[in-house]
Chains A and B, each alone.
Chain A
Amino acid sequence: MATSVSAAPPTRGGPAGASEVVGRPDAHRKRMARLGWMFTSPALLFIGLVTLFPIGFSVLLSFENVNVTANGFSLNGLTTANYSLVLGNSTWHYALGFTVGYTIITVLAEVVIGTLIALVLERMVRGRGWMMALLLIPWSLVTVISAELWKYIYDPTYGFADGLLHTLGLGSPVILGSNVSAIIALMVADVWKTTPFVSIIVLAGLVMLPGEIYEAAEVDGATGWTTFWKITFPLLRPTIALAVLFRVLQAFGLFDLPFVLTQGGPGTATTSLAVLGYQATFNDYKYGPGAAVATTTALLVVLGCFAFLKVFRSQVGEEDAG
């Protein structure tokens, strides 16, 4: 089980610890578990209230005829019409494809670049702390604020990117004005912002890898390349899986970047599921269909993550067994 491999959930990592101190480890563990529940139950209750209730309510809305009034929602009976409206809508089809494609591409790019950065950082002897701090700046910026910065960069009249392309003799394309370039522009802004997050997680995994294996590999004469693919990458898998999971969950909810940069345009080119749901709910007051978009989106991402975990877990399991 999780010895060295499980860098991911570090809580489980420690081989044999405090329990040896006490005579009756089982009773002690049970008591500690009870105490643990006692201490965490207020927080769990709170989380339940602020997450489970709204989620449940949203699911309920998605099955209702909802009308907005001065005294809250009026629910006018159960229906599945919201779902048939959503599932048959061509913009929803597009938004689904766009969101899935966007998620796959950005998460892939972030994981590759993030891992490379982490590998460099791991070898850095001096200034690593500073580098990490610098790296975290984009990640710690509120997305709306970084989106505003990118909006300035992409501005067709006085934007930096426009000036740069012009200077390089590449003309003056309107970056946010055509479908493909607008999508790429969003992806660049996304990768810029969240790659550091992946780097930090991967770095945490890297520093926990056991040194002996590398020594052994060196003794055996393995090249750096071989060492990476045969040792580092397999051992990092759970860490990467964790990073991917976090990122997929977030990327699938893509909202702030298109909301600020393109409003979902040109046309509907950058309309993600979240943007579509927002428009339906808050612009058109179609709370039922809006909730149906939200619910289907959540369902899809949860299913996607489970599938991903299953595949990744089994691979991790094989590594373990081997």
Chain B
Amino acid sequence: MQDPKRAAHAASIATSARALPLPGPNVKVETHVSADTAPPRNPVRRRSVRRAAALLATTGLAVGVAACGSSSGGSSGSSGGSSTKAKLSSTGAKAPGNPTSGTINWWASPITTSGPDVRKVWIAAFEKAYPNIHVHLISAPTDTDTNRATLTTQISGGSGPDVFMGDVIWPAQFGAHGLAVPLSKYLPKSYWSRFANGLVAGATYKGQVYGAPLFEDQGFLYYRKDLLAKDHLAVPKTWEQLVSESKEMQSKHQVKYGYVFQGADYEGATCDFAEFLADAGGTVLNSGDTKAVLGAPAVKALTFERSLVKEGISPSGESTFQEPQSLAVFTNGQAAFLRNWDYAYASSNAKGSKIIGKVGVAPMPTFSGQSTPGYSNIGGWNLYINPHSKNIAADLTFIKWMTGKEAQTIQATKFSQIPTINSVRTDKAVIKGNANLLVVPKTRLVPRPAQTPDYSQVSQAIYQGVSSALAGQTSPSSAVSKMTSSINTALGGGGL
């Protein structure tokens, strides 16, 4: 059941709505990320740290859900309901090890690009709180593919870090292969209730929660507020409006391009396409995850993406753009609008940017005729425990602290990340200092179809089609039919 609409009911939303004081009639978190599945392809390959942050972002919100698991039978999975159907006990088993002393090897890729390293700030504060636990940071590869492949190799080889920070689309894959400890075995129901709605469901696979949500991420529309004000333009609510405003600013030579996004041959293109597709009213897979149902909405979405490039609203290089390239065009002052993750707000206001103080952030637009806002893809990162860890009790202490008020406040106020726990998300002081957090309640989320064990191949079929169409190598309609047949082959077990 990954129909977003159903999921929407299911995950009654939200993350934000509930969490933040800002109301939101618009707030709808629709997701289904769940987990039933497996090999998610990683989100973004970020080579630079920024991208790393993006990754981080990618996964987070995993909200969700609800919906998916039913087909997998067996355990209760997450069937659509307002809660994830993780089987949570009220007490939790006793974890082996000593909860207040020992050494923890923590595997995490870089999050911040400049200034203090949030990972080290966290560790210092944690070690102050637990002087007898030493956390040793292992800086993971910034490229998610490499990150996951390295981890898998280490863990399946019987070693690896104790605690690792992993993508929100990993739970199914790691759960299915036994590469992570089911945290719900040790952490009681009362622990999981601290998280914003849907996040826990997103980290659940077959009734067990594998990841503790560390931070959340999603797509945002960043815009040049100085230019919009100068031209008396409103922040676009539809794609059509974005195009016409772009053309106006381009014709006045205020910017070289209207809109920059991600269209290269990698996970990010799948994220962006998922947004356009949802805006066009489509989904990738049918409700049983057995076949692709892209159809006309996908053609509409891809035709629009291609037209952005063809009409010069977006650079001709879009088919090679990952986050850093699109961000660079924006921070150089060459584009009016940018689609990117959380960190882009901080990056475009950081030293080196030519548009400091001129950046606004808003929910994504949608196609005209659809209800606003448009869909934002979900990302973010969780904390997982390696099954080979000797001191799981200490690992849990660390995870509990990292998902506690102090650690979450640190990342929200000093590093502009979206926290995962309600108490911090609703903290007025925190909201004031985090521009993205203000927008979050107004957004509408769509996950990637990560419920299927063949997700990595599904995503590959999508991003290959997208980049090929953006490059003008294939027509949008034939790209969509190729995507459809590749996805069906993959789901039928015939993919490579």
- By a beta-carbon cutoff of 8 Å, the part of chain A in contact with chain B is 67-73, 85-86, 88-89, 91-92, 155-158, 172-174, 176-179, 262-269, 276, 279-280, 282-286, 289, 293
Chain A proximity of B334: nearest CB distance (Å): 8
- Residues of B with C-beta under 8 A to A293: 496
Chain A nearest CB from B202 CB (Å) reads: 20
- Taking CB as reference atom, which chain A residue is nearest B177? A68
In the complex, are the beta carbons of A285 and B266 less than 8 A apart?
no
B457: A residues at CB distance < 8 A:
284
Whether B265 contacts A263 by the Cβ 8 Å rule is yes
Contact of A172 among B157, B316, B387, B460 (CB under 8 A): B316
Q: What separation, in Å, do the CA atoms of A32 and B471 have in the docked complex?
A: 64
Distance to closest chain B CB from A169 (angstroms): 16
Number of interface residues of B (CB under 8 A): 47
B464's closest neighbor in chain A, by CB?
Answer: A267
Binds A, one of B193-201, B317-325, B374-382, B435-443: B317-325
Asked if residues B158 and A267 are in contact (CB atoms below 8 Å), the reply is: no
Question: Are A284 and B468 in contact, with the CB atoms below 8 A?
Answer: no
Q: Is the CB of A279 within 8 A of B460?
A: yes
Binds A, one of B67-75, B128-136, B148-156: B148-156
| Nearest opposing residue in chain A for B42, CB measure | A283
Contact with A along B446-466 (1 / 0, CB 8 A): 000000001011001000110
Q: Is B264 interfacial (CB 8 A cutoff)? A: yes
A174:B494 contact, CB within 8 angstroms: no
The contact string, 1 if C-beta is below 8 Å from chain A, for chain B 161-192, is 00000000000010001110000000000000
Given A72-B158, A176-B320, A283 contacting B496 (CB threshold 8 A): no
15 pairs, A vs B, C-beta closer than 8 Å: A69-B156, A89-B496, A173-B316, A174-B471, A176-B320, A263-B45, A263-B266, A265-B265, A265-B464, A269-B468, A269-B473, A279-B460, A284-B454, A285-B38, A285-B456
Confirm or deny: B329 has a beta carbon within 8 angstroms of a beta carbon on chain A.
yes
Q: What residues of chain B lie closer than 8 Å to A263, measured between beta carbons? A: 45, 264-266
B177 touches A178 (CB 8 A): no
Residues of chain B lying within 8 A (CB to CB) of residue A177 = 316-320, 467, 470-471
Taking the complex as formed, is B474 at the interface, i.e. its CB lies under 8 A from any CB of chain A? yes
- A residues near B145, Cβ cutoff 8 Å: 282-283
Residue from the list A69, A266, A267, A285 in contact with B173, Cβ < 8 A: A285
In the assembled complex, the Cα of A62 lies from the Cα of B456 at a distance in Å of: 21
A157 B329 Cβ-Cβ under 8 A: yes
The 8 tightest CB contacts between A and B, nearest first, are A156-B317, A265-B265, A267-B468, A282-B149, A70-B178, A177-B319, A177-B471, A266-B471
Docked pose: A285 CA to B388 CA in angstroms: 20
Contact of A178 with B471 in the complex, beta carbons under 8 Å = yes
- In the complex, the answer to whether B156 meets A73 with C-beta atoms within 8 Å is yes
Tell me the bound Cα distance from A173 to B265 in angstroms.
Answer: 18
Residues of B near A72 (CB, < 8 A) are 156-158
* A174→B496 contact, CB < 8 A: no
Give the interface centre of B38, B264, B265, B496 by most chain A CB atoms within 10 Å.
B496
Chain B residues 281 to 306 lying within 8 A of chain A, measured CB to CB, are: none
Could you list which residues of chain B lie within 8 angstroms of chain A, going by C-beta atoms? 38-39, 41-42, 45, 145, 148-149, 152, 155-158, 173, 177-179, 264-266, 315-320, 325, 328-329, 387-388, 454, 456-457, 460, 464-465, 467-468, 470-474, 494-496
- Contact residues in B for A178 (Cβ distance below 8 Å): 471-473
Contact A89–B494 (Cβ < 8 Å): yes
User: Quick one: closest B residue to A162, CB to CB?
Assistant: B317
Residue of B nearest to A86 (CB): B496
Q: Please determine whether B152 and A68 come into contact, CB atoms closer than 8 angstroms.
A: yes
The answer to whether B39 touches A266, judged by C-beta atoms less than 8 angstroms apart, is no
Known contacts A157-B329, A283-B456, A284-B456; decide if A70 and B317 are in contact (CB<8 Å): no
B157 touches A266 (CB 8 A): no
Q: Is B495 in contact with A284, judged by CB distance below 8 angstroms?
A: yes
What's the Cα separation between A268 and B454 when bound, in Å? 18
A37 → chain B closest CB, angstroms: 35
CA distance A68 to B320 in the complex (A): 33
Task: Pick the contact of B156: A68, A91, A283 (CB < 8 A).
Answer: A68
**Could you tell me if B387 and A70 are in contact, using CB atoms closer than 8 angstroms?**
yes
Closest residue of chain B to A286 (Cβ to Cβ) is B496
Query: When the two chains form their complex, are residues B39 and A283 in contact, meaning their CB atoms are under 8 A apart?
Result: yes
The distance from the CB of A59 to the nearest CB of chain B, in whole angstroms, is: 18
Residues of A near B177 (CB, < 8 A) are 67-70, 285
Alpha-carbon distance A73/B155, docked complex (angstroms) = 11
**Shortest Cβ distance from residue B364 to the other chain A in the assembled complex, whole angstroms:** 23
Q: Which B residues are in CB contact (< 8 Å) with A155? A: 317, 320, 325
Identify the interface centre among B320, B467, B473: most chain A CB within 10 Å of its CB: B320
Residues of B within 8 A of A158 (CB): 328
Nearest B residue to A271, CB-CB: B464
Q: Is the CB of A85 within 8 A of B496?
A: yes
How many whole Å from B258's CB to the nearest CB in chain A? 15
Collect the chain B residues with CB atoms within 8 Å of residue A269's CB: 468, 473
